[in-house]
Amino acid sequence: MNCLICGAQLPVGAMFCGECGSSSTATPQTRKRPDPRPSDTTVIQPLRRRAVISVPVVSSAVEVQAVEVPSPAPVPVEPPAHVPAVVPAPVSVAAVTPTASLFVLQFSTGETISALGTGLIGRRPLPQPTEHVDILVQINDLGRSVSKSHLEFGQHDGEFWVSDRFSGNGTIIRRPDTVAVRCEPGRRYLVPRGSRVDIADQFFILN
């Protein structure tokens, strides 16, 4: 008998898979959990917000308009018929405004990963058929304490968040100068830089 989730061979009478921890009767359809809170960024313990200092910016366009310089009346000149009129392309603000912050994940296994978007962390992370992530981070865990798809991460308003993917051994966030928090599976937690995130027997430091 084989596990219907990961394909591992199961001993006779086994109730759970020793490879992925799934029930021996579980199927991909029963394990598929739709996200009940697709935009949930609730934090069990709110982070202390950093102070923001606003500095007024003087526009150079205002200074130019304040000074009037007399000039002779312009003489209209029609361009030749074979020269097309040049229209300046509009500047896209979204193209020059960064939409994501760069975070660096330093793992206990020695790997260092740079992350800009969303991703999955695990021994053999695999997104759901309708799910899209930017990066898959595979952890070399010989003890198999880390689940195949153990942890999901992403960003919200420039802050890094993690969400335990119903892993077998759980996820713990150790923020600086605060008590450790064990993640409730399926809920997103904001993680400040300098925190340590325990993934079963492995961990990473967020910078």
pLDDT in tens, the chain (207 residues): 788 877 788 888 888 787 777 778 877 666 555 555 555 555 555 555 544 444 444 444 444 444 555 556 665 656 555 544 444 444 443 343 356 789 999 999 999 999 988 999 999 999 988 889 999 999 988 889 999 999 999 998 889 999 999 999 999 999 998 899 999 999 999 999 999 999 999 999 999
Indicate whether 74 belongs to any domain: no
Residue bearing tokens 């997104």:
127
Distance CA 134, CA 44 (A): 26
Indicate whether 4 belongs to any domain: yes
> Do 196 and 105 lie in a common domain?
yes
What pLDDT was estimated at residue 84? 47
What pLDDT was estimated at residue 81? 55
In terms of Cβ atoms closer than 10 Å to its own Cβ (0-12, 13-18, 19+), residue 36 is exposed
CA proximity to 204, closest of 134, 153, 148: 153
- The pTM (predicted TM-score) of the whole model is 0.55
Question: What phi and psi, each to the nearest 5 degrees, are found at residue 159?
Answer: -105, 145
- Please give the single-letter amino acid code of residue 3: C
Distances (CA, A) of 49 to 13, 15, 46, 159, 206: 53, 46, 9, 11, 17
Output the CA torsion sign for 54, 60, 61, 63: positive
How many distinct structural domains can be found in the chain? 2
Question: What phi and psi, each to the nearest 5 degrees, are found at residue 39?
Answer: -115, 25
Indicate whether 169 belongs to any domain: yes
Cβ count within 10 A of residue 66: 7
Indicate whether 81 belongs to any domain: no
Indicate whether 193 belongs to any domain: yes
> Do 26 and 114 lie in a common domain?
no
Beta strands per DSSP E along the chain: 103-107, 112-115, 119-122, 135-138, 151-156, 159-164, 171-174, 181-182, 188-191, 196-199, 202-206
Indicate whether 88 belongs to any domain: no
Mapped onto helix, strand or coil, the DSSP state of residue 196 is strand
Distances (CA, A) of 103 to 106, 115, 207: 10, 5, 6
What pLDDT was estimated at residue 85? 47
Domain that holds residue 10: 1-31
Indicate whether 73 belongs to any domain: no
Indicate whether 181 belongs to any domain: yes
In terms of Cβ atoms closer than 10 Å to its own Cβ (0-12, 13-18, 19+), residue 22 is buried
What pLDDT was estimated at residue 83? 46
CATH code at 202?
2.60.200.20
